[in-house]
Amino acid sequence: MNIAVCVKQIPDPAAPYELDGENHWVVRPNDQVLDDTDRFGIEVGLQLAETSEGTVTLFSMGPSGSLQGIRQALAMGADKAVLIDDESLKGSDALTTARILAAAMDREGYDVVIAGMESTDGFTGAVPQMISEILDVPCLSFARKVDVADGSVTIERQTTSGYEVVTAELPALLAVTAGVVEPRYPTFKGIMQAKSKPVDTLTASDLGVETHVGQTVASVTDVASREAGEVVEDQGEAYLEIVALLEERKVI
């Protein structure tokens, strides 16, 4: 079984993000990290590969940089990666990203496509659905439990009041939530092996995808932040301050 997993290298979320002054794009350092939300999709893919003697291929679009984030994903156990890095793709919207990733998956072949629900740095939260439409496969989204057997897949799809059980034939795309599985930590062996696993780098023209930009950033301004109020260290009676504030706000 060919298992395609979407991953993204993002600037370390622990450091404050910067926007470039001209285009308002997120500044991307050479060393980017694997988006933590991708680890869940990778884990689902690895577990599926273990039971189906499958191959896990990572698909990613963006500046390669040092490939640190891709190596982190390979270190978990993925077999190889296809990275689309092209200067003309800078500032691409979600639809261009989806077209690129779908074209790369079509070229490599897939039985299951797995993605997270949204990236930590962009969070449009639409790329998995767009890929599904382009590939003409079902989009089993908001999946918190996944079961693949005998050519079909069944998930628990989160809803506002609970969940739905949804089933479809393969090929299908699974967009998973962070609760779906516990991602494994890379082993030392995995980290060493990741250094020599194949990473194919492609351009938009290799895939025959024309970039099309249908939106531009007109302006970016600072939002006035809330003013921090009083911060008190609890010496055993700080709860009284809460009681006083609740009285003042007429909640009690």
- Exactly one of 142, 176, 186, 207 binds other proteins (CB under 8 A); that residue is 142
243 is a site residue for other proteins (CB under 8 A): yes
- Exactly one of 89, 101, 137, 176 binds other proteins (CB under 8 A); that residue is 137
Q: Which stretch binds other proteins (CB under 8 A): 72-80, 163-171, 187-195, 199-207?
A: 163-171
Q: Which stretch binds other proteins (CB under 8 A): 106-114, 184-192, 198-206, 212-220?
A: 212-220
Contacts to other proteins from residues 107-136, by CB under 8 A: 117-118, 123-134, 136
CA–CA dist 207, 85 (Å, integer):
12
Q: Which stretch binds other proteins (CB under 8 A): 52-60, 69-77, 198-206, 231-239?
A: 231-239
Judge whether 140 and 168 are in contact, CB under 8 Å: yes
Task: Say which amino acid occupies 30.
Answer: N
Nearer to other proteins, 88 or 167 (CB): 167
User: Least CB distance from residue 173 to other proteins, whole Å?
Assistant: 10
157 is a site residue for other proteins (CB under 8 A): yes
Q: Which stretch binds other proteins (CB under 8 A): 27-35, 79-87, 94-102, 188-196?
A: 94-102
User: Least CB distance from residue 118 to other proteins, whole Å?
Assistant: 7
CA–CA dist 50, 175 (Å, integer):
20
Q: Can the peptide bond before residue 198 be classed as cis, meaning omega within 30 degrees of 0?
A: no
- Exactly one of 47, 55, 91, 168 binds other proteins (CB under 8 A); that residue is 168
Nearer to other proteins, 192 or 217 (CB): 217
196 is a site residue for other proteins (CB under 8 A): no
Q: Are strands 139-149 and 152-158 parallel, antiparallel or unpaired?
A: antiparallel
DSSP codes of every residue in 44-92: HHHHHHHHHT-EEEEEEES--TT-HHHHHHHHTT--EEEEE--GGGTT-
Residue 127's nearest CA partner among 6, 3, 225, 209 is 6
Write the CB contacts of 78 (distance below 8 Å, at least 6 apart in sequence): 5, 42, 45, 46, 56, 57, 58, 197
80 is a site residue for other proteins (CB under 8 A): no
Give the total of residues touching other proteins (CB under 8 A).
Answer: 82
Judge whether 176 and 146 are in contact, CB under 8 Å: yes
Q: Which stretch binds other proteins (CB under 8 A): 41-49, 67-75, 187-195, 226-234?
A: 226-234
220 token code pair = 């970016």
User: Least CB distance from residue 7 to other proteins, whole Å?
Assistant: 18
- Exactly one of 17, 27, 66, 198 binds other proteins (CB under 8 A); that residue is 17
CA angle 223, 224, 227 (to 5 degrees): 140
CA–CA dist 170, 69 (Å, integer):
29
148 is a site residue for other proteins (CB under 8 A): no
